[in-house]
C-alpha cells in the first residue's frame, strides 16, 4: 500500500509519460516478469506495462491500456534506436539539473530523504540513478525528434491557407492575456542583519577548512537554494554566462577544491563556494546560499512608501511608466518602463519574448501578482503588496494593468504567431508520423502473441 502511495506522489509531481522508468512500476507489482516486445535491441517487460496500467494518471487513457502503453513504449525505443545510429549523445550535465529538481520534489512530498527511501525500499542513490536513466531517455528522444524536424519551415501563405476555410468555432481558443507594469521597492535590510548572514557563512567555511564538517553536509542542513541543497549544494557544469556575474567571478577564480571562497553577494543573496572541477570553459561547484531575513517593520515602511508613490501617480504628478523607470528597484523592468516580459520558447526551440501573459503564466511567475491583477480594470493602479521576485527575494510592489485581451477565437490579424505555431507543429507531427511508419519497416520487432491482436495506431508492429 505504501509503495502505491509513493507512486502516486511521483505521478502528481511529474505526470507519467511513455518514458517512465520501470523502477516504480516494479516496486508496485509482484508480476512474474517476461519480455513481451522487442524493438531493435531493446526489450519491453510485462512489469513496465502493468506498472503504468495500474497508475491513476492512465485511468483516462483512450483504448485498451494493454495495447496503448506498450505501443508508446515501443515508439520511444524507435527514437532511442535512431539516436544511437545518429550518434546523438546526452551528457550528464544536461540531465542532472532535471534529476536534482525532481528528486528534491520527491523528498519534499515524502517528507524527508529517509521517508522516501522507506517508501520505495531503495537508497536515494538508486532512486537518483533510475531518475537519471528516465530523464536521459526523455532528453534523447526530444533531441532525436528535434533533429528529424529541424528543417521543417512554414510560410505565411501556408498559415493563411490552413485557416482560410476553417469554421470559426473550429479555430483555437486563445485564453485571456494581460500586459502588466510593476514598480518595485526593496525593503531596507539593516547592516547588522547582513553582517549576521556573512558571519554565519564564514563560520561554515571555517568548519569545512578545519575538517570538522564536509561542505556538502552543511549545504544540506543550511542552504536556502532549494534546487541544490539536497545534492549538497552541487551545481551542474556551467559556463560563466550561465551564472550571476558576481558569483561567476568568484567561482572561476577558485583553483583549490579543498578551500572555500570568500562570502560573495549575488542577486539571490549571499554565498560561499567550493570548487569541484573545471572542464574547458565550464566549471562545477557547490555552494551554500543564505538570505538576510526581511523584518516586517521594514516591509511596512516599503509598503507605505509605495502607497504614497501610487497616490502621486493617481494625482498625475508623474506617470506610472516614469516612476517605474526612475524609482523602481527592479532591474529587469526598469529599462522597459515597468513592463513585464514573458520569455517563451517556440516549438523550434528558439526564444520568443512578448509582453503578453496568460493568467496561468503570470501565476507561475508570481502568484501574488496574479491575484492582484485578476480583479483590476485596465489602467488601474493597485494597492501596495508583498511578493517574491524572480530571485525568490521578498519585495514590495504596485502594479498597473496595461491591457487585457479577453478569451477569443484566434484570427490571422491578431494571433498570427499562435496560428503559425499550430501549422508548424502539425507539419512536424506529420513528418514524425511518416518517420515512425518507415522506421517500423526497417527495425527488428518481435511481439508476444498475446499482443498481436491489438488495434494499434501504427499497425506496422505486427509483421
Strands 35-39 and 282-290: unpaired
Report the range of poorest mean pLDDT among 54-58, 216-220, 331-335, 337-341.
54-58
In this prediction, residue 338 has a pLDDT band, given cuts at 50, 70 and 90, of: very high
Query: Between these two residues, 352 and 263, which has the higher pLDDT value?
Result: 263
- Cα-based torsion angle of the residue sequence 187, 192, 196, 198 in order, rounded to the nearest 10 degrees: 80
Most confident among 13-17, 207-211, 278-282 (mean pLDDT): 207-211
The whole-number pLDDT of residue 23 equals 42
Query: Between these two residues, 327 and 49, which has the higher pLDDT value?
Result: 327
Tens-digit pLDDT profile for residues 173-192: 999 999 999 999 999 999 99
Decide: residue 335, CB within 10 A, 0-12 exposed, 13-18 middle, 19+ buried: exposed
The whole-number pLDDT of residue 57 equals 61
- For residue 22, which of 45, 55, 53, 56 has the smallest C-alpha distance? 45
In this prediction, residue 293 has a pLDDT band, given cuts at 50, 70 and 90, of: very high
Please give the Cα distance from 144 to 141 (Å, whole number). Answer: 5
CA atoms within 13 A on the CB side of 33: 15
Class for the domain spanning 191-290 = alpha beta
Please give the Cα distance from 265 to 198 (Å, whole number). Answer: 9
The whole-number pLDDT of residue 349 equals 59
Sign of the CA dihedral with 71 first, then 66, 14, and 420 last: positive
Tens-digit pLDDT profile for residues 195-227: 999 999 999 999 999 999 999 999 999 999 988
- For residue 17, which of 75, 64, 63 has the smallest C-alpha distance? 75
Rg from Cα positions in the chain: 26
Query: Between these two residues, 318 and 352, which has the higher pLDDT value?
Result: 318
Tens-digit pLDDT profile for residues 18-55: 333 334 444 444 446 899 999 988 899 988 888 777 76
Query: Between these two residues, 112 and 207, which has the higher pLDDT value?
Result: 207
Fold identical between 177-188+294-409 and 191-290? yes
Is pTM beyond 0.75 here? Answer: no
The whole-number pLDDT of residue 31 equals 47
Tens-digit pLDDT profile for residues 348-362: 556 678 899 999 999
Q: Is the pLDDT of residue 13 over 50?
A: no
When pLDDT is averaged across residues 14-20 and rounded to a whole number, the result is: 34
For residue 174, list its beta bridge partners: 408
End-to-end CA distance of the chain: 41
When pLDDT is averaged across residues 167-173 and rounded to a whole number, the result is: 88
When pLDDT is averaged across residues 258-266 and rounded to a whole number, the result is: 95
User: Could you state, in order of their start, the residue ranges of all structural domains in the chain?
Assistant: 2-151+430-461, 177-188+294-409, 191-290
In this prediction, residue 10 has a pLDDT band, given cuts at 50, 70 and 90, of: very low
Q: Which grid cell is 40?
A: 531493435
Query: Between these two residues, 251 and 64, which has the higher pLDDT value?
Result: 251
The whole-number pLDDT of residue 348 equals 58
The whole-number pLDDT of residue 56 equals 63
The whole-number pLDDT of residue 213 equals 92
Average pLDDT, the chain: 87
The whole-number pLDDT of residue 2 equals 30
Architecture of domain 177-188+294-409: Roll (3.10)
Residues 6+ apart with CB under 8 A from 347: 421, 424, 425, 428
Architecture of domain 2-151+430-461: Orthogonal Bundle (1.10)
Q: Is the pLDDT of residue 317 over 50?
A: yes
Tens-digit pLDDT profile for residues 118-149: 888 888 888 888 888 888 998 999 999 999 99
Tens-digit pLDDT profile for residues 406-460: 999 998 888 898 899 899 999 999 999 999 999 999 899 999 998 898 999 998 9
Amino acid at each position: 500500500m505504501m509503495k502505491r502511495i509513493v507512486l502516486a506522489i511521483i505521478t502528481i509531481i511529474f505526470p507519467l509519460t511513455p518514458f517512465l522508468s520501470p523502477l516504480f512500476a516494479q516496486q508496485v507489482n509482484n508480476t512474474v516478469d517476461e519480455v513481451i516486445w522487442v524493438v531493435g535491441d531493446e526489450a519491453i517487460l510485462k512489469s513496465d506495462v502493468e506498472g503504468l496500467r495500474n497508475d491513476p494518471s492512465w485511468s483516462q487513457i483512450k483504448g485498451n491500456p494493454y495495447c496503448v502503453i506498450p505501443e508508446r513504449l515501443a515508439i520511444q525505443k524507435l527514437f532511442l534506436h535512431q539516436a544511437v545510429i545518429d550518434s546523438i549523445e546526452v551528457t550528464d550535465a544536461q540531465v542532472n539539473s532535471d534529476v536534482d529538481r525532481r528528486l528534491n520534489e520527491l523528498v519534499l512530498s515524502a517528507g524527508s530523504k529517509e521517508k522516501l527511501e522507506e517508501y520505495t525500499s531503495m537508497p536515494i542513490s538508486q532512486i537518483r540513478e533510475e531518475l537519471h536513466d528516465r530523464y536521459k531517455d526523455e532528453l534523447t528522444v526530444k533531441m532525436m525528434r528535434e533533429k528529424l524536424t529541424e528543417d521543417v519551415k512554414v510560410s505565411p501563405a501556408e498559415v493563411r491557407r490552413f485557416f482560410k476555410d476553417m469554421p470559426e468555432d473550429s479555430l483555437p481558443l486563445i485564453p485571456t492575456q494581460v500586459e502588466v507594469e510593476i514598480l518595485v521597492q526593496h525593503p531596507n535590510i539593516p547592516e547588522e542583519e547582513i553582517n549576521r548572514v556573512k558571519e554565519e557563512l564564514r563560520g561554515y567555511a571555517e568548519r569545512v577548512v578545519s575538517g570538522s564538517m564536509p561542505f556538502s553536509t552543511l549545504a544540506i542542513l543550511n542552504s536556502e537554494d532549494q534546487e541544490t541543497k539536497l545534492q549538497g549544494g552541487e551545481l551542474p557544469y556551467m559556463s560563466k554566462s550561465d551564472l550571476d556575474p558576481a558569483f561567476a567571478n568568484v567561482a572561476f577564480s577558485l583553483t583549490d577544491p579543498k578551500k572555500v571562497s570568500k562570502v560573495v553577494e549575488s542577486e539571490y543573496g549571499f554565498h560561499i563556494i567550493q570548487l569541484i572541477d573545471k572542464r574547458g570553459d565550464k566549471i562545477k561547484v557547490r555552494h551554500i546560499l543564505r538570505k538576510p531575513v526581511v523584518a516586517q517593520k521594514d516591509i511596512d515602511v516599503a509598503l507605505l512608501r509605495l502607497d504614497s508613490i501610487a497616490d502621486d501617480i493617481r494625482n498625475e504628478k508623474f506617470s506610472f511608466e516614469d516612476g517605474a523607470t526612475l524609482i523602481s528597484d527592479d532591474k529587469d523592468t526598469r529599462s522597459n518602463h515597468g513592463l513585464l516580459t514573458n520569455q517563451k520558447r517556440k516549438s523550434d526551440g528558439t526564444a520568443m519574448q512578448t509582453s503578453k501573459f496568460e493568467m496561468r503564466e503570470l501565476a507561475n511567475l508570481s502568484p501574488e501578482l496574479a491575484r492582484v491583477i485578476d480583479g483590476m480594470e485596465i489602467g488601474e493602479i493597485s494597492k501596495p503588496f508583498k511578493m517574491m521576485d524572480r530571485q525568490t527575494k521578498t519585495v514590495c510592489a504596485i502594479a498597473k494593468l496595461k491591457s487585457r485581451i479577453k478569451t477569443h477565437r484566434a484570427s490571422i490579424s491578431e494571433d498570427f504567431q499562435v496560428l503559425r505555431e499550430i501549422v508548424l507543429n502539425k507539419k512536424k507531427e506529420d513528418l514524425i508520423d511518416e518517420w515512425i511508419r518507415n522506421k517500423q519497416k526497417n527495425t527488428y520487432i518481435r511481439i508476444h502473441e498475446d499482443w498481436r491482436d491489438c488495434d494499434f495506431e501504427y499497425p506496422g508492429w505486427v509483421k
